[in-house]
Amino acid sequence: MGVLRLLIFGTRGNWVRLAGIVVGVAIGVLLALLLVAGANALETRDIRSSWLQPAVNDLSTATTDDTIAARSDDIFGGERIDRLDIAAPAHAQAVLPGMEVPTPGTYKASPALTELIKNTPSTQLQDRYGEQVGTIPESLLASPDSLVVVVGGTPEGVSALLSAGVVDSFYAGAYGGNQNYQTIALVGALAVLIPAFLLVAVSTTLGSAARAERWQTLRTIGAPRKLVKRVALAEAAGTAVLGAALGVGGFFALRPLLALLPVAGERLIADDLAVSNTVVLVVAVAVVIGAVVAALRSARRTGSSATSQAVFEAAPRFARVIPLLAGLGLFFLVKTFAGQIPVPLVIPIVASFALIAMGLLIAGPYFTWLTGTWFARLAQAGDAVIASRRIVRTPRAGFRSVAGLVAATFLISVFAFSASASGSAGSYTSEPLLPENAVAANVKLDTDIAGASVKERLSRVSGITSVHFTYTDGEGIYIAGDDARMLTNHAFAGDIGELTGGIYSLAPDGPALHEATISTLDGLRINDIIAQTDSRAPSIEEARTALLTFEGVDRSAGVWTRAEHVVDTDSDLATQFAEIGRLAIVLVTFLTAAVLAIATTAALYDRKRTLSLLQLMGMPRNTLARIISWETLVPLLSILAPAVFLGWFTAYMLITSLSSRSLSWPDSLLGIALAATGLMVVVSILLAARVGNTIMRSSENNRRE
Amino acid sequence: MTQLEHIGPPRVAPALITARGLEKHHGQTHALRGVDVTIRQGEIVAVMGPSGSGKSTLLHCLAGVITPDTGEVTIGDTRISDLSEDQRSLFRLTRLGFVFQFGQLLPELSAEDNVALPLMLGGTRRARALVQAHSWLERLGLAGMERRLPSELSGGQAQRVALARGLVNAPAVLFADEPTGSLDSLTAERVMETLTDVARSTRTTLVIVTHDARVAAYSDREIFIRDGSVTSPALESAV
C-alpha cells in the first residue's frame, strides 16, 4: 500500500495530472446527468401540460354529457398564450383533475398570465376572456412562465369554433404521442452525449506518455507486471470514482440553475429535472468501468516489455470507415422502405444517426493518416516536417485532439440544415395583402355578419384607423378593389380582386391578388375582418381584443398580424429541431472547447522531452505555434468537409423521412456556429502555444544532471 | 589519430567563449559560485566534475540556454547575457550545436530529418537541407540509414546521427553533454574519436561535459568543477 501511495502521489506533476483527469471526468458526468435530467424535465412538463391538447372526437358524436373543447393560440405582445375554450356539463365524463372548469363568461389563468393581465389595461387583454374566477394550479403547467387560459363557454359557442371537438381524454401522453418529437429528442440527446463521453475519454488519457514511461521504468527495475496493473487500476479507479462523485455532486448543486434556463421560452421547474438513482448509478459506474478498462489496456501494452522503445501506432485500415458507410446505408434503406419497416421509424433513424456520428469518429484516424501521408510528402519547412511526421506516426492521437471539434461540426451541420426546412415553409413568396400594422380575424363558417355593425363597433377602438373585409362565395375569396389598393402597394386596377392564397399570401405560385371574374360582392358572406391600426403595440392588442370578443369571429383560427402568422406557421417539426439544435449547439460548443483544450495540452505535456530538446536547439518560439497549428488543422481539415456533408445528408434524411419538407440553404446559424468553432480553434492553438512555451521554459530551467 | 598525436590549437588562437563571475541558483542549491572560464577558438575542452557539481548548469549558461543570476557570457562578439530569449534561441540555432545522451533524437523523425532539423528550423527548405544532412550522414558512416527511425538505430548509430545534427549548421561551438553516457566502452570510444576528429578537421570549438576521465582524455584541456566552483587540476588529482 505504501508503494502504491508513493507511485501514485509521488510527484507534483502526477498530482496535477490526476487532478486534470478528475476534473475532466467530473464535467463529463455532470453534463451527461444534466442532459438526462433535461430530457426528463421536457417530457415531464409536456405530460403535465398535455391536457391543453386533449384527444377529441368529432362533434357529430356529442351528447349532453360530453365536454366540448377548442384549443387556440392567442398572442399578446409577441408572447403566445395557450387558450382552451371549454364547455363542460356538471356531470361531464372527461374532467380536468385538480381544477374545476370555469362557467360560461368566466376564465381561469396561469399565475404568469394573471400577473400580465393585472398589469395591462383590460381593453388590451382581459376583455378577451371575461371574468377571472381562479388560477390554474402549477401542477397543470409546463413552466412557471407558461401563459395559459381556460375560458368557459356554452356548448353551442364552443362547438362553433373551427378546432372544437368532443373531449375523449385530457391526457394524450408526452408530446401528444408524437413519434417525430421523440426522434428529435433522442437525436438531440445523442448529439450532446457523444462529446460528453469524448471529454471523459480524452481526460482519462491525460499524461498517458508520462504514465507509460513510469510503468516502463517500474518494469525495467524489475517490478512484476501485477504491480504495474495494480498501480494502473488504483489510479484509474480512484480518479474515475472521485470524478464521477464530483460530477454527481455538481449535478445536484447545479440543477436549480439549469431550471432557470429558458427552453422554448419557458423556464423549467426544478423538481422536473429529476434523475433516478438507478440512472445516476449507471452513468457513474459506466464511466468508472470505462476508465479502468482503458487504463488496464494501456498498462498491458506498456507493461509487456521491460525495454524502452518509442511506440508508434499501426497505420489505420480502411475497415475504420465501415461503421460510417453502414450508417449511410441504413439511412438509405429507411428512406427507401419507410412505409414497409415493421418497427417504429424512430429506431432505424436514431440507429443511423448514431452509426454516422460514431462512424465519423472511428473513421477520423484513417482520414487523418491519409491526409497526413500526403502532407508529409509536401512538407518542406521544419514545423511542417515535425507536424506531418507526428501525424503519420500517431494518427489516432492526432485525431483525438480534434475529435470533439469534428463531432461538433457534424452535429451543428445536422441542426443548421434541419432548421433550414422551417424557413422553406414560413417565408412569403409574394407580397401579402395584409399590411404589417393590421390584425385579421377569420369569420366562423356559415356565420353571416353585417359589415356595417362590425365597422361601427370597431370604430370605437381608438387605435384602429380603418376596417376592411374579404368575402367568400364558398369557393373564392374576394376583396373590393378600393380596399385592396388601400391595404397594399399593388397597382391593382380592377373593381374586385380575388385572393389566390388568402390574406397572408403564403401560396407559392401565382400572384396573390388578381382581378376577379365576379362582378359584385353583394350577397357574399364576410370571410375575414381586417383591422388596420396606427402601428402602436397597444392599438394592435386593443384591435385584437375587440376582434376576439366579436360574436361570429372564429377565435380558434387565431387573430394575428402578418408577422405572428409566420411565427405560428413555423411551429412544426423543423422549428422543434431548431430549438433543440440551438441548445445542443451551445452545449456541444462548450464541450468541444473543453475537449480541444484538454487534448492539446495533454499532448504537449506528453512531448515535454521533445519540446525541451527543440528549445535547446534554438527553435524559434513561433515555430511551436506553427507546429501546433499544423497538428490541429491537418486532422481537422481532413474530415471537416466530410463532416459538413454528412451533417447535410443526415439532416436531409431526417427531415424527408419524418415530414414532407425539403431542405434549403441554412441561415446564418451554420455560418455563425462554424465561425465560432473556427475562433475556438485559433484560441486553442494560441493557448496551447503559450502552454507549450511555458513547458519549454520550465524544461529549460530544469537541471539536466 | 589518438590523443597522443593530437594537434592542439595554436597558442595564439583568440578566445571564443568568455564567462566571468557566473552565479546560478536552483532553488536552495547554489549551482555556480563565481565561475570564470575562457575557451579558445578550435579548442576541445572537457568540463569535468562529479554528479551535482554544476557542470551541466555551466554548459547551459555558456550556451545561452539559461541565464546566470549574475555574471556574463560572451561568444565571439556576442554578449549572450544581453540577448533576449528569442535572440538567444536564434543564436543557438545558427551558431551553436548540441549533442546529448542517447535518446535525444526526435522519435518520429527519420535519421535524415533529425539531422536536417536545425537547418529546416532556420528556414532552409527540406529538399536543400537533406543534401547537407546526407553529406554528414555519409561522412559519419551512416550512408544507407537515412530513412531509419531512431528506434531502428543502435546506440552508437543514434549518437552519430545526433553528432551529424549538431554539426550540420556548421556551428562555431559544439556543446556535448555526456555524449557517451549510455554507450558501452567500445562504442563510446568510437563516438569520441569521431567527435574529436570532426571537431578538429572543421576547427569547431568543442565543449564536452563529462564525469568520465576516458572521455576527457580526448580533450585539449580539462576544466574541473566542484560545488559550483572551478578548481585546479592538482586539487582534483589529490581528491
Considering only the top CATH level, what class is B15-238? Answer: alpha beta
Tell me how far apart the alpha carbons of residues A292 and A297 are, in angstroms, rounded to a whole number.
9
Residues 6+ apart with CB under 8 A from A650: A331, A352, A353, A356, A410, A413, A414
Could A621 and B66 be called an inter-chain contact, meaning their C-beta atoms sit closer than 8 Å?
Answer: no
Closest chain A residue to the Cα of B88, Cα to Cα: A618
Could B151 and A310 be called an inter-chain contact, meaning their C-beta atoms sit closer than 8 Å?
Answer: yes
Query: Residue A348: which H helix or E strand, with range?
Result: helix A346-378
* DSSP E strands, A508-623: 513-515, 525-533
First-to-final CA distance of chain B:
31
Could A381 and B55 be called an inter-chain contact, meaning their C-beta atoms sit closer than 8 Å?
Answer: no
CB of A365 closer than 8 Å to CB of A394? no
Could B118 and A389 be called an inter-chain contact, meaning their C-beta atoms sit closer than 8 Å?
Answer: no
The better pLDDT of the pair B113, A286 is held by B113
The overall average pLDDT reported for chain A is: 78
Range with the poorest average pLDDT among A289-303, A318-332, B30-44: A289-303
Best of B65, B80, B167, B210 to disrupt the A interface by mutation (most A CBs within 10 Å)? B65
Closest chain B residue to the Cα of A607, Cα to Cα: B106
Q: Find chain B residues with C-beta within 8 A of A613's C-beta.
A: 100, 104, 106
Could A616 and B65 be called an inter-chain contact, meaning their C-beta atoms sit closer than 8 Å?
Answer: yes
* Nearest alpha carbon to residue A113 among A77, A72, A86, A81: A81
Closest chain B residue to the Cα of A618, Cα to Cα: B89
* pLDDT reading at A82 higher than 50: yes
Q: Find chain A residues with C-beta within 8 A of B63's C-beta.
A: 616
Could B89 and A615 be called an inter-chain contact, meaning their C-beta atoms sit closer than 8 Å?
Answer: yes
Number of continuous H segments (helices) and E segments (strands) in chain A: 20, 13
Q: Find chain B residues with C-beta within 8 A of A618's C-beta.
A: 88-94, 96, 118, 121
Q: Find chain B residues with C-beta within 8 A of A610's C-beta.
A: 106-107
The better pLDDT of the pair A264, A48 is held by A48
Q: Is A217 in CB contact (< 8 Å) with chain B?
A: no
Q: Find chain B residues with C-beta within 8 A of A701's C-beta.
A: 26, 66
Could A705 and B55 be called an inter-chain contact, meaning their C-beta atoms sit closer than 8 Å?
Answer: yes
Closest chain B residue to the Cα of A378, Cα to Cα: B126
Q: Kindly report, residue by residue over A149-176, the tens digit of the pLDDT.
A: 999 988 888 888 878 888 877 765 555 5
Maximal C-alpha separation, chain A: 106
Q: Which three cell numbers stand for residue B133?
A: 544532412
User: Which of A:303-362 have CB within 8 Å of B?
Assistant: 309-310, 312
The total number of residues shown for chain B amounts to 239
Closest chain A residue to the Cα of B57, Cα to Cα: A703
Counted across chains A and B, CB pairs separated by less than 8 A come out at: 102
Best of B75, B91, B102, B108 to disrupt the A interface by mutation (most A CBs within 10 Å)? B108
User: Which residue among B120, B151, B177 places its CB closest to the CB of A385?
Assistant: B120
Q: Find chain A residues with C-beta within 8 A of B55's C-beta.
A: 705
Could B121 and A382 be called an inter-chain contact, meaning their C-beta atoms sit closer than 8 Å?
Answer: yes
> What number is the average pLDDT over the span A299-324?
70
* pLDDT reading at A96 higher than 50: yes
Could A310 and B149 be called an inter-chain contact, meaning their C-beta atoms sit closer than 8 Å?
Answer: yes
> What's the gap in Å between the CA of A290 and the closest CA on chain B?
30
> What number is the average pLDDT over the span A393-412?
82
Q: Kindly report, residue by residue over A477-526, the tens digit of the pLDDT.
A: 888 888 887 777 666 777 888 877 667 654 445 456 777 788 888 888 88
Number of alpha carbons in the 13 Å side-chain half-sphere of residue A481: 13
Q: What ipTM did this prediction achieve?
A: 0.80
Could A705 and B149 be called an inter-chain contact, meaning their C-beta atoms sit closer than 8 Å?
Answer: no
Q: Kindly report, residue by residue over B64-110, the tens digit of the pLDDT.
A: 888 889 999 999 888 988 888 888 888 888 889 988 765 578 888 89
Confidence of residue A703 (pLDDT cuts 50, 70, 90): very low
Confidence of residue A432 (pLDDT cuts 50, 70, 90): low
pLDDT at B112: 93
> What's the gap in Å between the CA of A344 and the closest CA on chain B?
51
The better pLDDT of the pair B222, A177 is held by B222
Q: Kindly report, residue by residue over A558-609, the tens digit of the pLDDT.
A: 788 877 776 554 454 445 556 666 666 666 676 677 777 777 777 777 777 7
Could A618 and B107 be called an inter-chain contact, meaning their C-beta atoms sit closer than 8 Å?
Answer: no
Q: Find chain B residues with C-beta within 8 A of A382's C-beta.
A: 117, 119-122
Q: Kindly report, residue by residue over A637-684, the tens digit of the pLDDT.
A: 888 888 888 888 888 887 777 666 666 776 676 677 778 778 877 888
Range from A20-34, A350-364, A546-560 that averages highest in pLDDT = A350-364
Main-chain dihedrals φ then ψ at residue A107, nearest 5 degrees: -150, 160
Query: Residue A244: which H helix or E strand, with range?
Result: helix A225-258
Closest chain A residue to the Cα of B55, Cα to Cα: A705
Q: Kindly report, residue by residue over A457-479, the tens digit of the pLDDT.
A: 888 888 888 888 888 888 888 88
Q: Find chain B residues with C-beta within 8 A of A398's C-beta.
A: none
What is the pairing mode between strands A525-533 and A513-515?
Answer: unpaired
Confidence of residue B134 (pLDDT cuts 50, 70, 90): very high
User: Which of A:621-640 have CB within 8 Å of B?
Assistant: 621, 623
Give me the DSSP letters along chain B: --TTS--PPPTTPPEEEEEEEEEEEETTEEEEEEEEEEEETT-EEEEE--TTSSHHHHHHHHTTSS--SEEEEEETTEEGGGS-HHHHHHHHHHHEEEE-STT-S-TTS-HHHHHHHHHHHTT--HHHHHHHHHHHHHHTT-TT-TT--GGGS-HHHHHHHHHHHHHTT--SEEEEESTTTTS-HHHHHHHHHHHHHHHHHHT-EEEEEES-HHHHTTSSEEEEEETTEEE-HHHHHH-
> What's the gap in Å between the CA of B129 and the closest CA on chain A?
9
Other C-beta atoms lying within 10 Å of the C-beta of residue B57: 27
Q: Is A390 in CB contact (< 8 Å) with chain B?
A: yes
Q: What percent of chain A has pLDDT over 70?
A: 77
